[in-house]
Amino acid sequence: MKIYIHTKFEENEALLIKEQLSEKYKIVIGEEIPAEKREEEFLSASICFGNVPLAWAQKTTQLKWLQLHSAGLDPYQQLTDHTFKITNLKGFFGQSVAETAVAGILAMYRGVNHLTQLQMQTKWVGTPLRSTLHLLNNAKVLVLGAGAIGLKVRDLLTGFNCKTTVLDSKTITQLEEHLPTTDIVVATLPETPETIGLFNKERLHLLKCTALFVNVGRGSAVDEQALIEMLLNNQLYGAVLDVTATEPLPDDHLLWQMHNVLLTQHTSGGWANENIDKIKFFLENLSRFECGEALVNIANLARGY
């Protein structure tokens, strides 16, 4: 049985896969063969680990199981009539993304990004900065999304004495009631028809001018132009954006220059052992596949996560 690997791994990571699987399987790692040979290798594989081009996934007749290396399903929602199973990494990034969300909140409140700028300029300000800082203590936090990320954000805030509310796909109808009294919004939403444009101009304007907007879900959840206008006009305290409408962010984009915005460049899902841990997840799911057990994280293409 052939396994095709379509993820960019370091040498030691690829080695781990081969060590574990070469006795039982034919392993083909896309990165190790010429680009023009890859599609052909994929099309004769029974199992694939990695996010292959949609066109390949539409063409395969041999594939039994596609393990994605992402939580997001885009663009595979467009698949129809596929006969293979699709699993994703739902939940895998919860801790990591939630840690970046809280890191971003604390960076804004405790002035870390401003202090970093001063450090680059060899500029001591000290005491006068103190009155510009804020405490997370007592803050009213609204977390959107009750998946692995949203629940983990709530967990991480346990010791901070915040008033945290988590809205899931059912309770999201209460969004507008909560916005006017919220200090910090943390959007952790996947991209679905319901979440696209959820934060339109009207809803954004329900927020206090002291509110901090954090987005670690998908850029499509927010009307970015409306958000930028509010930030420019000090109608919001600030924004921490791991995701934006366009990534990479174009050089001439306004967001780069805004002092009340922290851009984390879609890194929130990452950590030093991310790939090793992904491989471990795949190997565990593979052992289930071998025994005919139910795979973990069967993707629901219709729902979008």
Is residue 81 at the binding interface for its own copies, with CB under 8 A as the rule? no
Only segment of 64-72, 96-104, 179-187, 231-239 that touches its own copies (CB under 8 A) = 96-104
Nearer to its own copies, 60 or 220 (CB): 220
Q: What distance in Å separates the CA atoms of residue 60 and residue 109, rounded to the nearest whole number?
A: 50
CB neighbourhood size of 167 (10 A): 18
Q: How many residues bind its own copies (CB under 8 A)?
A: 60
Burial of 226 (0-12, 13-18, 19+ CB in 10 A): middle
Residue with tokens 């995701």, as numbered in its chain: 243
Nearer to its own copies, 83 or 127 (CB): 127
Whether 210 and 183 have beta carbons less than 8 Å apart is answered as yes
Query: Which of 103, 206, 245, 301 is the binder for its own copies (CB under 8 A)?
Result: 103
Query: Which of 22, 58, 78, 117 is the binder for its own copies (CB under 8 A)?
Result: 117
Is residue 160 at the binding interface for its own copies, with CB under 8 A as the rule? yes
Only segment of 16-24, 33-41, 157-165, 186-194 that touches its own copies (CB under 8 A) = 157-165
**Backbone dihedral angles phi then psi of residue 197, each to the nearest 5 degrees:** 70, 15
Instruction: Work out how close the CB of 74 gets to its own copies at its nearest, in angstroms, rounded to a whole number.
Output: 16
Query: Which of 42, 56, 92, 109 is the binder for its own copies (CB under 8 A)?
Result: 109
Instruction: Work out how close the CB of 9 gets to its own copies at its nearest, in angstroms, rounded to a whole number.
Output: 11
Instruction: Work out how close the CB of 272 gets to its own copies at its nearest, in angstroms, rounded to a whole number.
Output: 6
Q: Where are the beta strands (DSSP E) in 79-202?
A: 85-87, 140-144, 163-167, 184-187
Q: How far separated are the first and last CA of the chain, in Å rounded?
A: 29
Number of C-alpha atoms within 13 angstroms, CB side, residue 96? 18
Is residue 11 at the binding interface for its own copies, with CB under 8 A as the rule? no
Nearer to its own copies, 34 or 159 (CB): 159
Instruction: Work out how close the CB of 80 gets to its own copies at its nearest, in angstroms, rounded to a whole number.
Output: 30
Touching its own copies, residues 247-276 (CB under 8 A) = 247-249, 251, 256-257, 261-272, 274-275
Q: Is the dihedral of CA 241, 245, 250, 253 positive or negative?
A: negative
Whether 96 and 268 have beta carbons less than 8 Å apart is answered as yes
- Strand, helix or coil for residue 17: helix
Is residue 140 at the binding interface for its own copies, with CB under 8 A as the rule? no
Q: What DSSP letter does each residue of 46-113 carry, written as one string?
A: SEEEE---HHHHHH-SS--EEE-SSS--TTGGG--S--SEEE--TTTTHHHHHHHHHHHHHHHHTTHH
Q: What distance in Å separates the CA atoms of residue 1 and residue 44, rounded to the nearest whole number?
A: 9
Is residue 170 at the binding interface for its own copies, with CB under 8 A as the rule? no
Instruction: Work out how close the CB of 287 gets to its own copies at its nearest, in angstroms, rounded to a whole number.
Output: 24
Site residues (vs its own copies, CB under 8 A): 95-96, 99-100, 102-104, 106-107, 109-113, 115-120, 122, 124-127, 129-137, 155-160, 247-249, 251, 256-257, 261-272, 274-275
